[in-house]
Amino acid sequence: MSEQVDLTTIPISPEGGNNPNGAATETAEDGKTITVFHDKDNFNVKHPLSNRWTLWFTKPASGKGDNWNDLLKEVITFESVEEFWGIYNNIATVSELALKSDYHLFKEGVRPEWEDPQNKHGGKWSFQFKDKRSVNIDELWLHTMLAAIGETLEEEEDGEVMGVVVNVRKAFYRIGVWTRTTGRHIPGRGDGDIAGGKGRTPEKGKEILMSIGRRFKTVLQLPANEMLEFSGHTDSAHSGSTRAKAKMVV
């Protein structure tokens, strides 16, 4: 997992076959457009995503002295539906990962760390699946990634979702969605001054985060009686745990 996936293994558009605006284009040969949905190996157009995304991997620590930065590996960055599937089909599924492994899928330029400038004022929605044998973690993680890159967890103008994470632990799987803000006012800063706040009031910010939580809960196929929790990264850092006291639940 420390090596990048070879993108040459993924079929790409011939020269002039990919419209940068994302519209289907015709081939010079027969005037027909062939997408990946018609032929998974011989398509001639790609479907660009709204953002470029980077896949990261955290390998298990070999000892207590291991540095987080040494364990966190940047795998690859992609920008189309076809590249995503090419990568997904060439890496281990979550259920095949060793304990204490993580996958992180974040927008390009955002490191999956609390300290990253684009994350430090944010938080995350997360859920722990404690009965590992009864959950199809591979399907849920795939649906979470597709919701992220397909921009369906939020409205286009919200700009909250930074990335998604899955953790493999002995007693549970955990999936989370990281957001740019926590929806609340930060002392010393004007309402909405945080990048991504866009002049929102705290009430509007909370409303947007709650909407993301509800959508995420649907993606995870959770019943109404299961609670999805939101906590701020700063609170998690202060508590010394990823399980800080929940600020919101849906």
- For the chain, the structural domain boundaries read 108-250
φ, ψ of residue 121 in degrees (nearest 5)? -100, 10
Burial of 127 (0-12, 13-18, 19+ CB in 10 A): buried
Q: What is the pLDDT of residue 8?
A: 45
pLDDT at 68: 76
pLDDT at 192: 43
Whole-number Å distance between alpha carbons of 46 and 81: 7
Strand 101-107 with 72-80, pairing: unpaired
Buried b (16+ CB within 10 A) or exposed e, 184-207: bbeeeeebbebebbeebebeebbe
Using H for helix, E for strand and C for coil, what is the string for 29-72?
A: CCCCCCCCCCCCCCCCCCCEEEEEEEEEEECCCCCCCCCHHHHE
CATH class of the structural domain 108-250: alpha beta
- pLDDT of 96: 96
Is the pTM higher than 0.75?
yes
Tokens encoding 16:
């002039």
pLDDT of residue 27: 43
Tens place of pLDDT for every residue, the chain, 250 residues?
Answer: 434 444 444 443 333 333 333 444 444 356 677 776 677 677 777 889 999 999 999 999 887 777 878 899 999 999 999 899 989 999 999 999 999 999 999 999 999 999 999 999 999 999 999 999 999 999 999 999 999 999 999 999 999 999 999 999 999 999 999 999 998 655 444 444 444 456 788 899 999 999 999 999 999 999 999 999 999 998 765 555 555 566 789 8
Predicted local distance difference test score (pLDDT) of residue 9: 46
Fill in the DSSP letter of residue 96: G
Strand segments, DSSP code E, in the chain are: 48-58, 72-80, 101-107, 123-129, 161-168, 173-179, 229-232, 248-249
